[in-house]
């Protein structure tokens, strides 16, 4: 089983994106699914979500677990609706990392992995955490399962290539001759 722990802020959006939309009229949620979806989409950069779609296309067995502060505000069905609105396969979303008071992201990932053994019973699970902030300390073994984005631009194609190679070392980057 292949799992991508996905952060949102600094990955599917960026500081640059927020500077761009700063003057847009913010969408106020009224509790309906439509307003929630509009609000979520306003916070996402279409370029970054396209890159996520590319990763999913190249790794058809990859599942996604939301590992983001967004998990406090939205439920799995709302994330699935968001994915579907971008024509991403919402069935690839399999969970949200658990939160306990002021937990650290690394602990949330480890708790989810412990529970996954019970729920999914994977023979072998390979995973990577995509975030814009350090999750693991340098001395922790799991640092090899961390990929950091530049929070000014979010996830890029160079990030995508590295993530794909994490799961498929034989992957070759496309060549365009420029």
pLDDT digits (tens, 9 = 90+) for 28-53: 666 677 778 887 888 899 999 999 99
Q: Which two tokens stand for residue 154?
A: 């979010």
Q: What is the number of alpha carbons within 13 Å of residue 76 lying toward its C-beta?
A: 11
Q: Which two tokens stand for residue 29?
A: 């949620």
Q: What is the number of alpha carbons within 13 Å of residue 172 lying toward its C-beta?
A: 3
pLDDT value of position 158: 96
pLDDT value of position 29: 64
Give me the residues of the chain with pLDDT under 50, please: none
pLDDT value of position 47: 94
pLDDT value of position 149: 96
The class of domain 2-167 in CATH terms is: alpha beta
146, 41 contact by CB (below 8 A): no
Sheet holding 126-131: strands in order across?
A: 93-96, 62-66, 2-6, 126-131, 146-148
Instruction: Mark 91-123 as b/e (b = at least 16 C-beta within 10 Å).
Output: ebbbbbbeeeeeeebbebbeebbeebeeeeeee
């Amino acid at each position: 089983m292949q799992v991508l722990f996905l952060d949102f802020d600094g990955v599917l959006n960026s500081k640059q994106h927020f500077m761009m939309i700063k003057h847009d009229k913010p969408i106020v949620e009224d509790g309906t699914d439509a307003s929630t979806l509009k609000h979520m989409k306003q916070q996402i950069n279409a370029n970054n979500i396209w890159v996520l779609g590319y990763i999913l296309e190249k790794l058809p067995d990859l599942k996604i677990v939301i590992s983001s502060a967004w998990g406090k505000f939205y439920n799995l069905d709302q994330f699935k609706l968001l994915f579907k609105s971008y024509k991403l396969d919402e069935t690839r979303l399999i969970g949200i990392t658990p939160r306990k008071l002021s937990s650290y992201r690394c602990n949330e990932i480890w708790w989810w992995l412990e529970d996954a053994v019970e729920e999914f019973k994977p023979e072998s699970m390979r995973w990577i955490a995509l975030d814009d902030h350090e999750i693991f300390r340098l001395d922790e073994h799991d640092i090899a399962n961390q990929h950091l984005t530049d929070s000014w631009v979010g996830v890029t194609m160079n990030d995508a290539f590295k993530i794909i190679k994490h799961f498929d070392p034989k992957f070759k980057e496309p060549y365009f001759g420029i």
